[in-house]
Amino acid sequence: MNILSGKKVLLGITGGIAAYKTTYLTRLLVKAGVSVKVVMTPSAKDFVTPLTLSTLSKNPVLSTFTNEDDDNDMWNNHVDLGLWADLMIIAPCTANTMSKMVNGTVDNLLLAVYTSAKCPVYFAPAMDLDMYKHPSTTQNFEKLASYGNFMIPAGDGELASGLSGKGRMAEPEEIVSFIEQQLLKEQPLRGKKCLITAGPTHESIDPVRFIGNHSTGKMGMALATDLANRGVLVTLIMGPSSVKTDNVLIERINVISAQEMYEAVHANINNQDYAIFSAAVADYKPAIPAHQKIKKSSETLTLELVKNPDILASVGAMESHPFLVGFALETENEMEHAFAKAKKKNTDLLILNSMNDNGAGFGIDTNKITIIDNQGNAQEFPVKSKTLVAKDIVDEIVKRTS
């Protein structure tokens, strides 16, 4: 699977002869599974047509803040565009546009999008030899890099002026390859394997009723998604949950009971690099589930419960186990119970949730965690979306294992 697959890319095109190459670049990106939106400077339309690029990208091409042919049309929101993208490519990037990027000049839609972008920005310079070598251009290269942008070096070759030398925009294949290599550097987990448990378990009382809890599996799915986005092959063992994913790097195994989850974990735990146990597993189950629906025949009903297998402890007791992350949901004496659990279950990291914290718990989109390591250190985080909580946890795993 291409590392660019599923990414959202803004392609900014400025007014240089190399703009004709962006038709090939757009086609390569779409072929790699990228969703492409094109933003052009007005002068770029002198070199390549919006119709061609909109056909190839399968999206409208934008170049002005409003549709000049329709006074009632909505404006093109540069902030929304900047937030939409996973990365931005400006190719060709002329000397004029680079100078504006360095100095914060915003006199067209493309530059407004650039200054609003929260994503990594790649720029591919394209200009004549003397312009490329000019001290101001060299200085602009350095300043743009200092802002956190990534320069895709120009190549040597015949230029539009007839001269031959440095300044030729990198070929579309070279631009795609440069970005792929940069993304690979930023994914130290790529190719690793992780097993995750998520959601509740349901323990049958009879064919109709069960013992369960309010877990939805959202936290586990957020972890699986974050890891998959970093190139990790995820085995997600999910209890009963309506949460869905279509990420091809996530293999989902659906289970119902704690025993089924235990068996699925031990069938898949070998050769995993990481194991994250975020499922809310029922501690007990009915000793003998009824084969038929239990009728309401008396004022009380007594159930005999027996312990379920402790999945986290069973993996922690293995002679050789993956980097192990457990979850603990507590309602009282949270830190004391969490430290005891981390030691008893032999976890590398334990993620503590408290039901007493606003924004934490089941069935909501936020969480509040404390990360406890096996040395007894604790790091508390504020309330965040479960997506950002997952990122914090995975970042900590990277820090501990890289």
Residues 6+ apart with CB under 8 A from 127: 16, 94, 95, 137, 154, 167
What is the structure's pLDDT at 83?
87
For 8-185, give the CATH class: alpha beta
For residue 73, is pLDDT > 60? no
What is the structure's pLDDT at 68?
60
How confident is residue 250, by pLDDT bands cut at 50, 70 and 90? Answer: very high
Whole-model pTM: value is 0.68
Asked if domains 8-185 and 193-288+302-401 share a fold, the reply is yes
Residues 6+ apart with CB under 8 A from 368: 353, 354, 357, 358, 359, 360, 381, 382, 383, 384
CA-nearest of 160, 176, 153, 177 to 26 is: 176
pLDDT, tens digit (0-9, with 9 covering 90-100), for 74-94: 566 788 888 899 999 999 999
What is the structure's pLDDT at 398?
94
How confident is residue 330, by pLDDT bands cut at 50, 70 and 90? Answer: confident
77 in active site: no
Average pLDDT in the 233-257 region?
Answer: 94
How many CB atoms are closer than 10 A to CB 175? 22
Architecture of domain 193-288+302-401: 3-Layer(aba) Sandwich (3.40)
Please state, for a pLDDT cut of 90, what percent of the chain lies above it: 76
Average pLDDT in the 213-221 region?
Answer: 94
How confident is residue 69, by pLDDT bands cut at 50, 70 and 90? Answer: low
Task: Indicate the domain borders of the chain.
Answer: 8-185, 193-288+302-401
Residue from 213, 247, 346, 374 carrying the catalytic annotation = 213
Between residues 230 and 324, which one has the greater pLDDT?
Answer: 324
What is the structure's pLDDT at 358?
75
Between residues 285 and 66, which one has the greater pLDDT?
Answer: 285
